[in-house]
Amino acid sequence: MWSNLCKSLNRLNQREGVLVSKVCFRQLHSSDVHVCPDGLYPGHIHTTAMQKALLAVGSGVAALQNPYRHDMVAVLGETTGHLALINLRDRMRNDPEGNAVLTERPRIRLSTLDLTKMASMPDGTFGREYLRFLEDNHVTPDSRADVKFVDDEELAYVMQRYREVHDLLHTLLGMPTNMLGEVAVKWFEAAQTGLPMCTLGALLGPLRLNTSRLQSLFTSLGPWALRNGWRSRCVLSIFYERRWEQSLEELRQELNIEAPPVTLSVKVKREKWRRKSNSGTADKNVLTMDNPETL
């Protein structure tokens, strides 16, 4: 088994565009693996418990080797988050607005956003500040991967919704997409969602910070993120598509989220991205830490 897993990881490192699921399928040679056999949702890939375990280990190792492999972190989240997704789904069901989200299944994509209207909104409104975040950090909501390995249609939507509201959390928390901002958001998400992927990212993310940023995280941003993640209303239970014109500060108060204790600049991240772009190592579609599924 471990020999097969090592072969899978080698293929992942050699072929950056190949999903870990395809590699594991070739290694497992299992007739139980089939795409959307029961019509759960488009793109669904059914896997056994053993196959999920192999996918979790393989994708976890690949993500640790390269935290920017958002596809690997996505697989890790889907194969380890079943219990957390049930808890999040139940919290949404018990909230009138969250239940409406589960019923109507809105999606946050460029095709569903009226960017022109958002740009015309007053400064300080949630929609205008979200658009400003997208522009300042060179982020697009269309970079979110579709769910494949969650064997429940409703739970799959909960996972998809988590991915698509990640940038909205950045806006609510006032965090840019540099490393420190991403780690702070991961601490909030770990406390808020209980997803193992978020917890792992919260634990390992600080290893990539320098001394000054570690001090800021442990003395200020970290405690603030954990405190607000634990006490705030379930962030998946908000129908954000109906809140664009609401004041950002008013929405924070409603969710019981405090304003950030410090303001982080996006200039460092921008310069880092420019250097990567000039050297040809940056992926123009998934810029450094702009994806929610990054360790």
Per-residue DSSP letters for 36-60?
A: STT-SSTT-EE--HHHHHHHHHHHH
Beta pairing partners, 247: 125
The verdict on whether residue 46 carries a ligand-binding annotation is: no
Asked if 239 and 115 count as a contact pair (C-beta separation under 8 A), the reply is no
> Nearest Cα to 55, choosing from 27, 34, 83, 32?
27
Amino acid identity at 229:
G
The verdict on whether residue 182 carries a ligand-binding annotation is: yes
Strands 45-46 and 34-35: antiparallel
d(CA 156, CA 222): 29
Q: Name the H helices within the chain.
A: 2-14, 20-28, 49-65, 70-80, 82-93, 96-104, 115-120, 126-137, 153-173, 179-193, 196-204, 211-216, 222-231, 248-255, 267-279
> Nearest Cα to 202, choosing from 189, 215, 214?
189
> Nearest Cα to 151, choosing from 59, 70, 38?
38
> Nearest Cα to 256, choosing from 191, 200, 196, 160?
191
In the annotated binding site, the residues are 166-167, 170, 182
Binding-site residue set for Zn(2+): 166-167, 170, 182
